[in-house]
Chains A and B, each alone.
Chain A
């Protein structure tokens, strides 16, 4: 079963991934080939198989702890003001003033 161009564009939108026309054509071919291959699982009768994770995760105490940082938080932003990171405004894409 072939993956269509419309399906590629739909899943690209779901995945927030810009895909141009050339890449979409290539992806149509490649995803069709991969899905044809993985569809051999259809022949496996998995009726009655219960998916159960036997590895019970050890529980930890309900407590709030500080973020574990090995360097001060100011090391990780291009700029800081009043203890906050200065980042580009999302409302002014493509070259707005930087505001905290």
Chain B
């Protein structure tokens, strides 16, 4: 049996064990599909991801598995094309283990808004894995796969990475092709990567990055180089600590974890500098206008005729068919965001909401630009205000759920790269620290994260 077939069989066993245990991280996978990939011819030179298995979020198109965005409206859908990111990781030797659970169309912060039911947090089955890419984070945290792809519109890679104790990277907008990523908020969406350590997540990012003519918003840049070794010192590195990320609502366990991590940065020789991003408090309100507005437009195509499951029973005309197909095909959070987006774009409200939010977004971008122009190499913040919350805890209050994104959605609005890495635990639950870099500053935040990881220990065994 070849090494690739052994890896495929071993991965299948791990995924089966994970799913038999009730984790519900995967929504489509099979041993046969893994073995078929392992049997396909590979370049004699191997590849940058040879020996790696990658799980793929269910809103990223591939040719082997279904792509449903965890939505009833795309039940049974198989994509006629493969996302550029998936094509690239397969070209360098990775095996795709299967598709992972997520909030429907990426809308949520807990993976509870999936038509397949929630994924459970690998550290505490009574808690959420974060979201929306919760299945990918749980798959990596459990050790079923070595890496995973997720997607971000407002923190959906970094948030579950923090809740599941793994590393998650959101690259600069345009760094990774969006071709084959099902659109949610097109000015915000980016594919991101998960790994059990910083180098793994960065290697996967390097493999999928680079210009793609199939995505008009793709940056005209060469692929990122793979990460170097972890530096032993951060002397000469200035890390900004934005005071707005340490205010009201920050869980004491998270605050304590951040203080410990900041001490480690000082031990490494970094200079910590108090900085301000004064428009941070407007990020969540801005995000929850811009993202639903874009979603209401992007999701208009799912009407039972152009795309999506058709519900025609009792429909007297085609408009009733659209309404019934969309009304029953979308889940509660997607319906809520489509209606919110339609409201803020409707006549009489457009300028007050959408126009205002666009200008607020410029202010948020300008905050980041100013702080990086002042000589700060990266910003260090908590990834989430709390450790993983309990299943059902925020389902009744959308605003409480949205506030879970308060520290992560700023990077999506500004387009800058950011990553989350484990910085220890509070009462057994993982804590995430976030490094945010300037535009195209992935290599710098990866370097700083590798140095911190070396002294705090990185991802830990789940059990």
Residues on A close to B: CB < 8 A?
3, 7-8, 10-12, 14-19, 23, 27, 30-31, 33-35, 37-42, 44, 46, 49-52, 55, 57-58, 60, 68-71, 73, 75-76, 88, 90, 93-95
Instruction: Determine the chain B residues whose CB is within 8 A of the CB of A58 once the complex forms.
Output: 211, 216, 218, 220
Can you name the residue of chain A whose Cβ is closest to the Cβ of B173? Answer: A55
Binary interface profile of B, 302-324, with partner A (CB < 8 Å = 1, else 0)? 01010000101111111111111
Q: Are A18 and B288 in contact (CB under 8 A)?
A: no
Can you name the residue of chain B whose Cβ is closest to the Cβ of A51? Answer: B358
Q: Are A71 and B63 in contact (CB under 8 A)?
A: yes
Q: Are A17 and B321 in contact (CB under 8 A)?
A: no
Instruction: Determine the chain B residues whose CB is within 8 A of the CB of A44 once the complex forms.
Output: 279, 282, 356, 360, 363
Q: Are A30 and B322 in contact (CB under 8 A)?
A: no
Q: Are A17 and B80 in contact (CB under 8 A)?
A: no
Contact A34 to B288, CB < 8 A, known contacts A16-B300, A50-B362: yes
Contact A68 to B81, CB < 8 A, known contacts A33-B399, A60-B213, A93-B315: yes
Instruction: Determine the chain A residues whose CB is within 8 A of the CB of B218 once the complex forms.
Output: 58
Q: Could you say which of A3, A7, A19, A46 contacts B359, with CB atoms under 8 Å apart?
A: A46
| Whole-angstrom distance between the Cβ of B267 and the nearest chain A Cβ | 38
Which segment, of B253-261, B335-343, B425-433, faces chain A?
A: B335-343
Q: Are B80 and A69 in contact (CB under 8 A)?
A: yes
Q: Are B318 and A90 in contact (CB under 8 A)?
A: yes
How far is B214's CA from A41's CA once the two chains are assembled, in angstroms? 36
Instruction: Determine the chain A residues whose CB is within 8 A of the CB of B315 once the complex forms.
Output: 93-94
Instruction: Determine the chain B residues whose CB is within 8 A of the CB of A88 once the complex forms.
Output: 310, 312
Q: Are A38 and B339 in contact (CB under 8 A)?
A: no
| Whole-angstrom distance between the Cβ of B129 and the nearest chain A Cβ | 24
Contact A49 to B362, CB < 8 A, known contacts A18-B323, A37-B399: yes
| Whole-angstrom distance between the Cβ of B56 and the nearest chain A Cβ | 16
- B242 interface hit (Cβ, 8 Å): no
Question: Could you show 14 A-B contacts with beta carbons less than 8 Å apart?
Answer: A15-B326, A19-B327, A27-B336, A30-B398, A33-B398, A38-B353, A41-B357, A42-B356, A44-B360, A57-B217, A58-B216, A58-B218, A68-B214, A88-B312
How many residues of chain B are within 8 Å of chain A by beta carbon?
Answer: 67
How far is B305's CA from A57's CA once the two chains are assembled, in angstroms? 32
Contact A93 to B326, CB < 8 A, known contacts A40-B282, A70-B82: no
Can you name the residue of chain A whose Cβ is closest to the Cβ of B357? Answer: A41
The total of Cβ contacts below 8 Å across the A-B interface reads 147
| Whole-angstrom distance between the Cβ of B280 and the nearest chain A Cβ | 12
Contact A17 to B214, CB < 8 A, known contacts A44-B282, A90-B305: no
Contact A3 to B80, CB < 8 A, known contacts A16-B303, A70-B63: no
- B26 interface hit (Cβ, 8 Å): no
Instruction: Determine the chain B residues whose CB is within 8 A of the CB of A42 once the complex forms.
Output: 356
Q: Which 9 A-B pairs have the closest CB atoms?
A: A18-B327, A18-B323, A46-B359, A38-B285, A49-B359, A16-B322, A15-B342, A11-B342, A58-B220
How far is B347's CA from A14's CA once the two chains are assembled, in angstroms? 11
- B162 interface hit (Cβ, 8 Å): no
How far is B399's CA from A17's CA once the two chains are assembled, in angstroms? 22
Instruction: Determine the chain A residues whose CB is within 8 A of the CB of B314 once the complex forms.
Output: 94
How far is B314's CA from A88's CA once the two chains are assembled, in angstroms? 15
- B69 interface hit (Cβ, 8 Å): no
Q: Are A16 and B360 in contact (CB under 8 A)?
A: no
| Whole-angstrom distance between the Cβ of A3 and the nearest chain B Cβ | 7
Q: Could you say which of A17, A34, A35 contacts B323, with CB atoms under 8 Å apart?
A: A17
| Whole-angstrom distance between the Cβ of A36 and the nearest chain B Cβ | 9
- B29 interface hit (Cβ, 8 Å): no
Contact A16 to B399, CB < 8 A, known contacts A70-B82, A93-B321: no
Q: Could you say which of B78, B216, B310, B357 contacts A57, with CB atoms under 8 Å apart?
A: B216
| Whole-angstrom distance between the Cβ of A92 and the nearest chain B Cβ | 10
Q: B213, B313, B339: which has the most chain A beta carbons within 10 Å?
A: B339
Q: Are A11 and B339 in contact (CB under 8 A)?
A: yes
- B142 interface hit (Cβ, 8 Å): no
How far is B320's CA from A90's CA once the two chains are assembled, in angstroms? 11
Q: Are A8 and B322 in contact (CB under 8 A)?
A: no
How far is B357's CA from A29's CA once the two chains are assembled, in angstroms? 22
Q: A3-B343, A34-B398 are in contact. List 11 more A-B contacts (CB 8 A).
A: A15-B339, A16-B323, A17-B327, A18-B326, A33-B398, A34-B336, A39-B285, A41-B282, A44-B360, A71-B80, A88-B312
Q: Are B289 and A93 in contact (CB under 8 A)?
A: no
